[in-house]
């Protein structure tokens, strides 16, 4: 049974799934004792299927995953709580600790951290990675010839 709600946000804990329904309040998925592990999804409209564990968010989607410093936007997001996979579609932009990926479709596997980005037709995926400068090597110690001070 699919449940359709018009929401501005939904919290989805990654350790477990607790569904709370409230008339006129929409759907809230949360786990009070694990807010740091929450995946927050904001959008114009969201649909949740309690049987399959799939949540679909449409329109002005923003996804925040603070424990991994991830902030993403897209046209549509699909979160499969059983497979622990997030698929973002349409104008996807993901930012994490200064790095970014821009694509048409991005699949993110939560358990492995694997990200697969696919471009729109006739386009390319764009990634920007901040690469820290390697520290300068320490100067070599001075070696004196025997008998010299």
Could you give the domains of the chain? Answer: 2-128 (2.60.450.10)
Taking only the tens place, the pLDDT of each residue in 74-91 is 999 999 999 999 999 999
How far apart, in whole angstroms, are the C-alpha atoms of residue 109 and residue 14? 12
Structure tokens at 34: 């694990």
Reported as half-sphere exposure (CB side, CA atoms, 13 A), residue 54 has a value of: 7
Confidence of residue 37 (pLDDT cuts 50, 70, 90): confident
Confidence of residue 135 (pLDDT cuts 50, 70, 90): confident
pTM: 0.67
Q: What is the pLDDT of residue 106?
A: 97
Task: Give 119 or 8, the one with higher predicted confidence.
Answer: 119
Question: Residue 122 region, left (φ>0) first, then alpha (ψ -120 to 50), else beta?
Answer: left
């Amino acid at each position: 049974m699919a449940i359709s709600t018009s929401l501005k946000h939904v919290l989805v804990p990654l350790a477990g799934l607790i569904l709370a329904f409230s008339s006129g309040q929409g759907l809230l998925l949360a786990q009070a004792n694990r807010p740091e592990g929450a995946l927050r999804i904001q959008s114009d409209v969201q649909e949740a299927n309690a049987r399959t564990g799939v949540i679909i968010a449409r329109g002005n989607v923003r996804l925040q995953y603070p424990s991994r410093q991830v902030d993403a936007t897209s046209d549509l997001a699909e979160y499969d709580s059983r497979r622990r996979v997030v698929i973002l579609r349409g104008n996807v932009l993901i930012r994490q600790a200064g790095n970014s990926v821009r694509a048409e479709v991005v699949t993110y596997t939560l358990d492995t951290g694997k990200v697969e980005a696919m471009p729109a037709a006739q386009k390319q995926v764009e990634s920007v990675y901040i690469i820290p400068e390697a520290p300068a090597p320490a100067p070599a110690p001075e070696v004196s010839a025997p008998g010299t001070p």
